[in-house]
Amino acid sequence: MEAVRENPCVVICGETGSGKTTQVPQFLYEAGYATNSGIIGITEPRRVAAVSMSHRVAKEMNLPTRVVSYQIRYEGNVTDDTKIKFMTDGVLLKEIQKDFLLKRYSVIIIDEAHERSVYTDILVGLLSRIVPLRNKKGLPMKLLIMSATLRVEDFTENPKLFTTPPPVIKVDARQFPVSIHFNKRTPLEDYTGEVFHKTCKIHRMLPSGGILVFLTGQAEVHSLCRRLRKAFPFRKGNANTGESEEFDSTEAMRKFKKSKQKKTISLPRIDLDNYSALPVDEGDEDREAGIGDEDEGSDLDLGDDPTGAEEKVDPSIPLYVLPLVLTVGSRKAGYGVSAASAWDLVCALLPQT
């Protein structure tokens, strides 16, 4: 709270499961940032997170849902009494189009900033302008950027965003080592089958412990669970397609496995977006496992393919590959911006040809 009081913008870096999303809004509420008709706004990249986190925070604070509310597309329970508001980043972007200074809010929290979605990057760029404008008008607003990765240079060392680098607060939460297992090359046609074989190999070859597997969708999760139940009929499996659960001991989760992830790829010639399954980025694996650069835990390959680590593909940042027609058009129409390259975005937009 001291850093928030003394700085207009603060970057909070904490591992997955450290409690950033649930605890920081409560600290701000108890510090008085929701008084005088001000609202604490928290943006989430996904609808499920916005809804579930609002219910969780309301339960922890013993407050009704009319005080701790959520707003997603076509759904919400926001009232005049709302003091803490969880919403998707697209909802906040629409509010900026109506009220550029966001006079209703006293604090804006950008959660999951490490995912670098298009809306998140644009919001960070817009809010970096809104905060100083609010301060000049005597209506101060705080901006908190929360990330689960240690790579925060995109925010702290970008003079187009912040003339004065914001302070970085690191929150430690990891309590046990995690080993990451992956195939350095996996056939795209049957990557779920490779996940099954890898999981079975880990179970048979390594000591006891939990195995956490990430897939791209609910159908793949249930399909893998059925195959594992047939292979190991006396083992109990837990299919969880929503939020991850907490583990009770250091032995509860020792092995971490992540297969593919779905990325949206723009096909401008036919004006369509395609969801493609791509290998995960190593930084994403470390983030989900809660592993920092200096933490224990290893990337262990079980010998499925002798190729080098350079075969792993680094997925592109969505801001580079997704069309900006909707967001660019609305902002240019509303605020007279002549070109997208003039924005103070986190990444400099590639010149259009």
Using alpha carbons, list the distances in angstroms from residue 348 to 160, 163, 321, 338, 345: 9, 16, 13, 15, 6
Indicate the burial class of 343 (C-beta count within 10 angstroms; 0-12, 13-18, 19 or more): buried
pLDDT digits (tens, 9 = 90+) for 29-56: 988 888 877 899 999 988 888 899 999 9
In the predicted structure, residue 267 carries a pLDDT above the cut 70: no
* pTM of this structure: 0.63
Residues 346, 155: Cα–Cα separation, whole Å: 7
What domains does the chain contain, in order, with CATH numbers?
Answer: 2-173 (3.40.50.300), 179-311 (no CATH)
Residues 21, 190: Cα–Cα separation, whole Å: 36
pLDDT digits (tens, 9 = 90+) for 296-312: 444 444 444 444 444 44
pLDDT score, position 202: 84
